[in-house]
Structure 1
Amino acid sequence: MKNYQLRRLVNQPILKTSDVKPAIDGFEVLGAFNPAACLFGDEVILLLRVAEAPKPKTGQLAIPLLVEQDGVPTLTVQYLPKPPQPYDARVVTINKKTYLTSMSHLRLARSRDGIHFTIDEKPFLFPARMDESYGVEDARITFLEGKYWITYTAVSEHGPGVGLAVTTDFVNVERVGMILPPPNKDVALFPEKINGKYYLLHRPMVSEIGKPSVWLADSTDGMHWGNHRFLFGGRALSDERYAWEGAKIGAGPEPILTDEGWLVCYHGADATHAYALALALLDKEDPSIVLDRSALPLLTPELPWEREGFFPNVVFSNGWIQWPEDSDKAGQIWVYYGAADSGVGLAELVVVQTHPDEHG
């Protein structure tokens, strides 16, 4: 694999939580982060994950979720007593039932230059099904066969599964439904068929045995997926060289086809839950073959806004774009990443020549 590096294009977030208005009356935005990304005409489109929560009452937690009322999933707020023991700011268990403390939806942002964005005030995709009753999170976008396929994490009391929606214009969107049941997430579709089949990367969750790793699946129709197989996992946590990905890994945006093979961006987390970004290279004709992987992370949380936020020490990407050859940024790959669950950063993926050609 070529010697890639991720270089920050800006040293400040291009989008911050404070840039996003709440979509629900009486709620506040806790985070705007982890965007999917694509090119649409002459615009860059981001689908931000926006986490909102109702303002709490003294001594109580305000839990947003969908409940069925006359067969219709309806947004409600449940007020529950705060647990006496310390708890995660994102998730809490009360009376043996686990809740999220916020509800996420997908919000559309548009830009002509890829840096300065206008953010819609209303959600693009808001939880609407009971298998999304805790929220929709961390989308990926793949342009495939004339439409934009949007995979996202659909969360409910039964766990995180993978939903699929499609659009052609980013105005109208059609929910296809859940394509992988809980517990699963981090799905990235390949942007073209390989040997007549659709392919995707996914990240099944594990319990007592194993660690969260990247898997591969294929399909003949893009809806029903099978032939699931392990692709690659985090290298040994006991080996200090790979501690940065030793706890768990997951796929990022859709793979990009290069002259070497399919380039995959993925995230790795260490034992302290700090997240970093790296690359893997898969065979063009058989993506079940891993040709190479990063020995070291390409991007780690270093700047204050990457280290401090709603969930600290995180750089996490599920969106990148490759500028077309007829643009002034021809061929450049821009990587949009969530930072500390509180904003969005921007980096460029570049190839570095380590050994110049010698002529003699």
Structure 2
Amino acid sequence: MRNYSLRRLSDQPILKTTDLKPAMEGFEVLGAFNPAACRVGDQVLLLLRVAEAPRPEKGWLHVPVVVHTDGVPRLTVKTFREPREPYDPRVVTIDGKVYLTSLSHLRLARSHDGIHFIPDDKPFLFPTRADEAFGVEDARITFLEGKYWITYTAVSERGPGVGLAQTHDFTDVNRIGMVLPPPNKDACLFPDRINDKYLMLHRPMVHEIGKPSIWLSESPDGIHWGQHRYVFGPSDKNWEYQKIGAGPEPILTDEGWLVCYHGTSQTTEYALALALLDGDSPSRIIGRSAVPLLTPELAWEREGFFPNVVFSNGWIQWPDNRIWVYYGAADYGVGLAELTSG
């Protein structure tokens, strides 16, 4: 496996939370981060995760959820007394029930140079299904067989699962639904069939036994998935000790499938690294990073809605084979780095 490095192309975020308007009246944008990425014609598109919440009110906690009434989805805000004890800024437990403190949707941002982006004002994918009641998050985009396949995390009170949607033009979208049930996330599709099968990396969220790791599954049609196989998991190195998860769609190189992934330390600091999988049999790992390629170092990577995070689920390859990696920073903004090999 070649020696790769990630070099930041800017010491400032290329997109910030303050660059986006809330899509819902009475709400504020808490974070615009973790974008999927692709090239469409002469444009670079980012599919941002945008977390919004009702404007705060002292002493009260307003929790947004999508509720189905007679089969019709409706955005609802539940109101509770704010807990007196400290709580996770993203997740709260009220009367034994877990809620997210914000509702995420997926929103497009567009650019001609891959650096300066104009975000849409309206969502591209908004949670509408019962299994999306707490939001849709952290998309990946794979161009496969003439269309763009979008995997994302669908969250509800029953846990996070893997949703799938397809589009030809990022105007009309076909929502397939949940293809891997909870608890699962961090799913990305390979851009080619292998042995006439669709392939996907995903991350079952184990708890009692084992650690969250990267698995491979296959499908005859891209919808029904099976033949799940463990590929690799966290090592004993601190920077990827707690859990790992796959990032953007794998890129085929002359060495094999290049996979970007994140790992978290014992103190839940996120880092980015690479793995190389066999080109013909991606369940076989050829190599992986001995040290992280990117860690939270800059102030806006260390301080935000959730601190000490660099998380990538989007990259693009230019015609000259340069690879640009878009990453979420501290669940607040978006950074850009270039992947090079020596």
Secondary structure, counterpart of 1:311 in structure 2: coil
* Alignment match, 2:266: 271
2:177 paired with 1:177: yes
Matches within 5 A, 1:20-39: 20-39=20-39
* Alignment match, 1:327: none
Whole-angstrom distance in 2 between the partners of 1:261 and 1:93: 44
Whole-angstrom distance in 2 between the partners of 1:35 and 1:189: 16
For structure 2, the 5+ residue unaligned runs are: none
Segment of structure 1 superposing worse, 52-61 or 161-170: 52-61
* Alignment match, 1:289: 284
Whole-angstrom distance in 1 between the partners of 2:305 and 2:83: 20
For structure 1, the 5+ residue unaligned runs are: 237-241, 325-329, 353-360
Q: Which amino acid aligns with 1:188?
A: C
* Alignment match, 1:356: none
CA RMSD in angstroms, aligned pairs only: 0.6
Secondary structure, counterpart of 1:244 in structure 2: helix
Whole-angstrom distance in 2 between the partners of 1:271 and 1:2: 28
CA offset at residue 56 of structure 1?
A: 2.8
Whole-angstrom distance in 2 between the partners of 1:316 and 1:75: 28
* Alignment match, 2:150: 150
Identity of aligned residues (%): 72
CA offset at residue 70 of structure 1?
A: 2.2
* Alignment match, 2:301: 306
**Aligned counterpart for 1:333 among listed residues 318, 323, 328:** 323
Whole-angstrom distance in 2 between the partners of 1:256 and 1:187: 15
Segment of structure 1 superposing worse, 267-276 or 64-73: 64-73
Whole-angstrom distance in 2 between the partners of 1:67 and 1:343: 29
Matches within 5 A, 1:1-360: 1-236=1-236, 242-324=237-319, 330-352=320-342
Task: Please give the per-residue CA displacement for 1:306-354, whole angstroms capped at 9, x wherever unaligned.
Answer: 0111111110000000012xxxxx11000000000010000000012xx
CA offset at residue 207 of structure 1?
A: 1.7
Q: Under a length normalisation based on structure 2, what TM-score does the superposition of the two structures give?
A: 0.99
Greater radius of gyration (CA) = 1
Q: Which amino acid aligns with 2:259?
A: V
Whole-angstrom distance in 2 between the partners of 1:43 and 1:59: 45
Whole-angstrom distance in 1 between the partners of 2:164 and 2:195: 23
Whole-angstrom distance in 2 between the partners of 1:56 and 1:65: 16
Whole-angstrom distance in 2 between the partners of 1:349 and 1:207: 33
CA offset at residue 243 of structure 1?
A: 0.6
Q: Which amino acid aligns with 2:341?
A: V
How many positions carry a matched residue from both structures?
Answer: 342
Whole-angstrom distance in 1 between the partners of 2:4 and 2:17: 30
